[in-house]
Every structure is written in structure tokens, then in C-alpha cells.
């Protein structure tokens, strides 16, 4: 603990430089400072090099891609979007995915129009799942898209090693910026584990004020198995989510959550009481009014645990047990009709009913440290309403934004790892129509600052593909169709594996095919996406799309299993 240190300016981008674009072009960025308020807490954690920034330089954002609203579920190879993407999504500051260091991204989000979206005080929920200071490098296995999905390589996605106290300074800067973005009635949820939970709690108190502490969730993320069961001083099976309000007195938006527990007949018989109506649990009547207790009695839901009759005394407006004991209220379990019984309970701060990824393999998209959709569903349901803005600036595989999209929330996300951007993009592209038939909203991809290049240099690739105009079936629309046929795709990255294995079909090497029917050389607007629905499925390789009658540049982007992207353009 110690005194507040000298304020400083954090400037990743003091000297504006040319920001390279996907197309190879560059633009002159215009950086500007964004002011941030001082921390609020009194007790403060001290560390070497601690600096409380008062402003951060906000680099400009450059749009790289636009993905239109997805109308409905589709077969592989069918156009995913109604028509080529237009600029409308670029006007909306939400549903944006940012590739870049989140310090620069957050500063950009705070920057007022016309240079930034000016989202200060607009975000209802901030969920962040930052590195945990685990001292590890996180990798993903690269697998062929074939039956047994053989592993053909491994790739580092992000490092989680922090010299000295750099982790604390890193988190401190981001939390200060995040506080500026949070709505007065919004909340921030910080996911972490035993390594930093206590220090992050102090940081959050310093930044948001101890009076704005809401809760700490202990989430059972795994069940110890094998040798871990006997770990010295118990296995670590929980992760933590620290929750703070921007202003608890606002008050903070809160929607209590229920959980559903399911029991077999034998389990129900062991845990609950049973009468002629079924299994029930009981609870003290607490503060129930006389009228409510009378109504419960009429429904046969009051009982006297220590015997005696239930007396309804109209004169004294009291309901009690004739032998002077307490009364209880019965809550019946729902008979599911298949030998199982369900009970609803209020959710408290011990979340042991949401499994981790280890026991939900169907959700696994192969990104290390991926969280489960059920976890995010509960967080988003508790703290937001439909249409609210959700921010996750450590988005990883995109779990939070996929769930936000499914739940009709708007979102903004960022990641510094291009592999995370690709994974999130593909998960969003895979989403079908939202419940109720509403189309899934589109999204845009932006770059802020100068992220480091993708982890590995693209290995030599060779694509054999044909793009040409085709006659329409009625003969009249001959020039209005374009056919894209991919015949082969090769990458040098597979060379070592091929020395001892037969060459697989090219489709086993491809994760996604996207087509822009009017590529302008700057922003890739997808008119078609072919992203297989599951990890063994493959792309089709043959696509037929409506095209403008005049010459147009068709761009085909192929993303392979290593994350290498190849863009082929033809004027047709
Ligand atoms: C624990 S993972 C998030 C996992 C995610 N919740 C999910 O369900 O997949 C942390 C992520 O933070 C990203 N990250 C680390 N430092 C960052 C930074 N300075 N800016 C943006 N993202 C960063 C990493 O690349 C990684 O994808």
C-alpha cells in the first residue's frame, strides 16, 4: 500500500506512424489524447513502476471487413448473406470486433465523434477474461478436417508471462479505461483465478471504489481427476469472477437468476419429503403476509414440521401450528414425467452448476482458455437487457460475443491475437437466425494501432481456383452469375507431415472460404461465407453468386487450418 504515484501520459502511439492495412495500403493515423479520471479508492496496492495515467493516446481505427446480417441457416456453399455487404454496418458503433492491443482500442472507443464512437458511459456490461498470470504460453493444436482429425502442428496463441509487477500495471491501465466506458448503472465482471484474484480485488477497489463492490463468484470450472485429486493442500477447481458496479447507488441493473436442478426418483426420495402430490422441499414462511399464508393454506402448501394442525386465526390475523411449533411452506418439485424431478433455486455466488469446457466438448472450438456459453449466458442475463451494449476486450475465441449475439445484445470486442480474431469471426459467421427468426445482426472488423504480425509467417501456399461468369438458367441472366470453383489448395506448412502420410484432399486443410463480389481493395465485404458447422465438416469449394452486369472485382479469401489467409482477386 502507498501514496498515489505521479500521473503520466501513456502513449503507445506518440509518434503517429503509417498503419498497414490488410490490402497492403497505408493511411496516416491521427492520434489524440483521451482523458481518464483518477482512481477512487483509498487503500491502494503499490508496485514497482506504478503509474496512474490521466490520459491515453487514442490511435485511429481502420475498418478491415464488413459482414452482413445472416438471414437464416444455410447449406454449405449457399450464399450466407442476402446481398453484398454495404456500408450500413460501418455507421453503427456496436457489433465491432477490434484487432489490436486493448489499451489502444479502449482509448479509441472513448474518443468522441467524428474520430471515434464516443462510447464513454455507454457500456452496460463489461466482461473480461484476461490472462491469469499463469506463466504459460497457450497453444492450439492444428488438426486436419478429416474423420480422425490428426494433429499436424501446434501454434502459440498468446503468452501469459509477466516480468516483475508488469501484470498489475497492465491490468490497472485497462481497468481505469474500462471504468470510463461503463454506464452509471452498469457492472464490470473480471474473470481470474487464485493467482491474482486478491490483487485484482484491490485494484478494482482502487479504481471503482470499495463501495461499488458487488460480489465474488466462485465458479467450479473443473472437477479434479487423476493425480490432481491428491494435490498438495487440495486441488484448484475454481475460478473467480469479481463484480463491481460503476455506481452501486445508481442503482446497478440486476436481474436475479434461477438455476434448475434435476434429480432421479431415488435422489429425490433421499433429499426431499413426499406426500400424495409429490416430492417437496420446505422453507420458513419468512415475511409472507397473512393473506398470502391463507392462500398457501388453501392450496394445501402449508405444513407443521413438528406435528399439529394449521390454525388460521382471522381475529389475530395469524397462521400457526396448533402445538406451538413452526409452520413451513411446501415447494413441489416438477415431475418431468420420465422418472426425473426438477427444482428451481435462486443462484448464489457459488456456481457449481455450470460445467467447464472439459465436460462440454461439443462447444470446444480449439482455442486455449475458452469459456463455456452457459457461463456467459448467466452473466449477460443477470446484468443486461436485450439491446444493451456488452464489451469484452480480451475476447479470445469469442464466447461472450457469440452469446451476446444469441441473446439480442449489442457487443464490442477486441483481441491482440489474430488467431482469436479468426476464431471469433468464424463463430459469429456460423450463427444462424436468432431465436424467433430474427436475422443475426452483422458485424465489422477493425484494426487499431499496430498489432504485431500474426504469430507465424504464412508458409508458401498454392491455390488452384477458377472465377468466371456463367450463363443463368433462363439464358437472360447470363452475365449476372459468377461461379467460383476451388480445385486445389496446398501449403508448405504441411510438408513435414506429408513425408510420412498420404496427401489429404485439399478441403481437409481449409477452415473457411469467403467471397466479396465487389472488392474495393480496402474493406473485405463478405457476400458468401462457407464456414463448416462442425470440426469434421468441410467447405464445398463450388459457389455460384449473383453479380452486377458490369465488370467487378471478385475476391476469394481462403483461411487454412494454420490460420494463413490467401486472397485471390479476379476482375470478371
Ligand atoms: C483467457 S483468454 C480469453 C478467453 C475467452 N474468454 C474465451 O472464452 O475464449 C485471454 C485473451 O486475451 C488476449 N489478450 C491478452 N493481452 C491482450 C491485449 N493487450 N489486448 C487485447 N487482447 C489481449 C489473448 O490473446 C487471449 O485471447
In 3D, which of 420, 525, 507 has the Cα closest to residue 22?
525
pLDDT of residue 258: 96
- The predicted-structure confidence for 168-205, as pLDDT tens digits, reads as follows 999 999 999 999 999 999 999 999 999 999 999 999 99
- The predicted-structure confidence for 214-250, as pLDDT tens digits, reads as follows 999 999 999 888 888 999 999 999 999 999 999 999 9
The residues near 172 (Cβ < 8 Å, ≥ 6 apart) are: 50, 52, 203, 206, 207
Distance 518 CA to ligand 1 centre (A): 33
Domain hosting 42: range is 7-75+92-132+167-255+353-448
Residue 470: CB atoms within 10 A of its CB come to 16
* pLDDT at 420 > cutoff 60: yes
Distance 324 CA to ligand 1 centre (A): 60
Domain assignment present for residue 142? The answer is: no
Residues 331 and 366 placed together within one structural domain of the fold: no
Domain assignment present for residue 139? The answer is: no
**Ligand 1 atom nearest to 367, measured from its CA:** 9
Looking at the chain, the whole-number percentage of residues with pLDDT higher than 70 is 86
Residues 318 and 373 placed together within one structural domain of the fold: no
Looking at the chain, the whole-number percentage of residues with pLDDT higher than 90 is 67
Residues 244 and 266 placed together within one structural domain of the fold: no
Secondary structure (H, E, C), 76-88: CCCCCECCCCCCH
The residues near 167 (Cβ < 8 Å, ≥ 6 apart) are: 131, 133, 196
Helix axes 102-110, 166-181, angle to 10 degrees: 20
User: How many separate domains does the chain show?
Assistant: 3
Residues 56 and 197 placed together within one structural domain of the fold: yes
- The predicted-structure confidence for 109-154, as pLDDT tens digits, reads as follows 999 998 899 999 999 999 999 999 999 999 999 999 998 899 999 9
- The predicted-structure confidence for 438-463, as pLDDT tens digits, reads as follows 566 789 999 998 877 665 566 789 99
H/E stretch holding 482: strand 481-491
Task: Among 354, 394, 425, name the best residue to mutate to test ligand 1's pocket (greatest count of ligand atoms within 8 A of Cβ).
Answer: 394
The residues near 436 (Cβ < 8 Å, ≥ 6 apart) are: none
Domain assignment present for residue 218? The answer is: yes
481, 472 contact by CB (below 8 A): yes
How many Å from the N-terminal Cα to the C-terminal Cα in the chain? Answer: 67
Question: Of 346, 365, 400, which closes a domain?
Answer: 346
Residue 375, φ and ψ in degrees, nearest 5: -65, -45
Residues 391 and 518 placed together within one structural domain of the fold: no
My answer on whether omega of the bond before 405 falls inside 30° of 0, hence cis, is no
Distance CA 472, CA 198 (A): 66
Domain assignment present for residue 148? The answer is: no
Q: What average pLDDT does the segment 389-410 reach?
A: 96
Domain assignment present for residue 81? The answer is: no
Query: Quick one: 207 exposed, middle or buried, by C-beta within 10 A (0-12, 13-18, 19+)?
Result: buried
Q: Going by CA atoms, what residue is nearest to atom 26 of ligand 1? A: 396
In angstroms, the Cα distances linking 260 to 234, 347, 354 are 29, 9, 11
What is the band of 306 on the pLDDT scale with cuts at 50, 70, 90? confident
Distance CA 106, CA 315 (A): 64
328, 319 contact by CB (below 8 A): no
Amino acid at each position: 500500500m502507498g501514496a498515489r504515484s505521479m500521473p503520466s501520459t501513456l502513449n503507445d502511439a506518440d509518434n503517429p506512424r503509417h498503419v498497414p492495412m490488410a490490402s497492403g495500403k497505408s493511411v496516416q493515423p491521427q492520434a489524440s489524447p483521451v482523458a481518464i479520471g483518477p482512481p477512487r479508492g483509498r487503500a491502494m496496492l503499490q508496485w514497482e513502476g506504478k503509474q496512474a495515467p490521466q490520459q491515453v493516446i487514442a490511435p485511429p481505427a481502420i475498418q478491415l471487413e464488413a459482414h452482413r446480417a445472416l438471414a437464416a441457416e444455410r447449406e454449405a456453399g449457399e450464399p450466407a448473406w442476402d446481398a453484398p455487404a454495404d456500408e450500413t454496418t460501418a455507421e453503427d458503433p456496436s457489433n465491432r470486433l477490434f484487432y489490436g492491443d486493448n489499451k489502444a482500442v479502449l482509448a479509441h472507443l472513448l474518443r468522441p465523434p467524428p474520430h471515434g464512437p464516443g462510447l464513454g458511459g455507454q457500456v452496460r456490461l463489461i466482461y473480461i477474461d484476461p490472462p491469469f498470470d499463469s506463466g504459460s504460453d497457450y497453444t492450439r493444436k492444428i488438426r486436419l478436417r478429416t474423420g480422425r482429425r490428426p494433429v499436424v502442428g501446434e501454434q502459440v496463441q498468446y503468452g501469459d508471462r509477466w516480468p516483475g509487477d508488469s501484470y498489475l500495471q497492465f491490468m490497472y491501465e485497462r481497468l481505469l479505461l474500462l471504468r470510463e466506458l461503463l454506464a452509471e448503472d452498469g457492472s464490470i465482471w473480471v474473470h481470474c483465478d487464485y493467482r491474482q484474484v486478491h490483487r485484482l480485488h484491490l485494484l478494482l477497489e482502487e479504481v471503482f471504489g470499495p463501495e461499488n463492490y458487488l460480489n465474488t463468484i466462485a465458479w467450479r470450472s473443473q472437477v479434479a481427476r487423476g493425480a490432481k485429486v491428491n494435490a498438495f493442500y487440495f486441488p484448484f477447481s475454481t475460478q473467480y469472477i469479481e463484480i463491481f458496479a460503476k455506481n452501486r447507488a445508481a442503482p446497478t441493473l440486476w436481474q436475479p437468476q434461477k438455476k434448475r436442478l434435476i434429480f432421479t426418483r431415488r435422489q429425490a426420495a433421499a433429499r426431499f419429503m413426499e406426500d400424495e402430490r409429490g416430492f417437496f422441499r420446505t422453507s420458513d414462511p419468512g415475511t409472507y403476509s397473512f393473506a398470502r399464508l391463507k392462500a398457501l393454506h388453501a392450496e394445501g402448501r402449508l405444513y407443521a414440521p413438528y406435528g399439529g394442525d394449521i390454525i388460521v386465526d382471522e381475529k389475530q390475523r395469524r397462521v400457526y401450528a396448533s402445538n406451538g411449533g413452526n409452520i413451513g411452506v411446501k415447494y413441489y418439485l416438477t415431475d418431468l414425467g420420465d422418472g426425473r424431478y426438477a427444482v428451481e433455486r435462486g443462484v448464489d455466488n457459488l456456481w457449481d452448476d455450470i460445467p467447464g469446457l472439459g465436460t462440454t466438448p461439443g462447444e470446444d472450438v480449439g482455442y486455449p482458455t475458452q469459456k463455456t456459453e452457459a457461463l456467459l449466458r448467466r452473466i449477460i442475463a443477470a446484468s443486461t437487457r436485450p439491446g444493451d451494449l456488452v464489451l469484452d476486450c480480451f475476447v479470445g475465441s469469442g464466447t461472450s460475443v457469440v452469446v451476446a449475439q444469441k441473446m439480442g445484445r449489442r457487443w464490442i470486442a477486441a483481441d491482440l491475437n489474430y488467431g482469436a480474431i479468426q476464431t471469433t469471426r468464424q463463430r459469429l459467421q456460423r450463427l444462424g437466425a436468432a431465436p424467433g427468426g430474427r436475422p443475426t445482426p452483422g458485424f465489422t472488423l477493425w484494426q487499431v494501432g499496430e498489432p504485431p504480425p500474426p504469430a507465424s509467417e504464412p508458409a508458401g501456399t498454392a491455390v488452384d481456383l477458377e472465377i468466371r461468369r456463367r450463363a443463368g438458367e433462363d439464358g437472360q441472366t447470363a452475365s449476372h452469375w459468377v461461379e467460383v470453383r476451388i480445385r486445389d489448395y496446398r501449403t508448405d506448412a504441411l510438408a513435414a507431415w506429408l513425408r510420412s502420410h498420404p496427401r489429404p484432399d485439399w478441403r481437409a486443410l481449409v477452415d473457411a472460404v469467403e467471397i466479396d463480389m465487389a472488392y474495393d481493395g480496402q474493406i473485405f465485404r463478405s457476400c458468401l461465407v462457407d464456414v463448416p458447422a462442425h470440426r469434421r465438416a468441410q467447405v464445398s469449394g463450388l459457389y455460384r453468386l449473383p453479380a452486377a452486369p458490369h465488370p467487378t472485382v471478385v475476391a476469394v479469401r481462403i483461411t487454412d487450418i494454420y490460420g494463413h489467409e490467401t486472397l485471390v482477386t479476379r476482375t470478371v
